[in-house]
Amino acid sequence: MEIPLIEGEFSTNEALELIVKMIEVKIKFHESKVCNSQLEEDIKSRENKIKNLQKSLYDSRLFLNTKNSGVKIKCSIHIE
């Protein structure tokens, strides 16, 4: 099953706004799991995922800052 979330052309500001919002949701999800977990392995794994998401956001900002015009975004969720 596939759920299309984002598909289209956006200004760099709109693209960044969408990316920030989506990554924030995922970070909050992992933060809530960290708060409810007592397993150190799970906590470390989720903290690592949060760091990777923050790095991806940083990289996205750098990439979008190089663009003078709009960008295309295509984002889907694949469920197997």
CB 12 within 8 A of CB 60: no
Task: Write the pLDDT tens digit of every residue in 10-39.
Answer: 999 999 999 999 999 999 999 998 888 888
Say how far apart CA 78 and CA 2 lie, in whole Å.
Answer: 5
Mean pLDDT of 63-74: 93
Q: What is the pLDDT of residue 56?
A: 97
User: How many domains does the chain fold into?
Assistant: 1
Mean pLDDT of the residues in the chain: 94
What was the pLDDT predicted at 10?
A: 97
Nearest-10 Cα torsion for 20, 23, 24, 25: 130
Domain limits at 61?
A: 2-78
80 band by pLDDT with thresholds 50, 70 and 90: very high
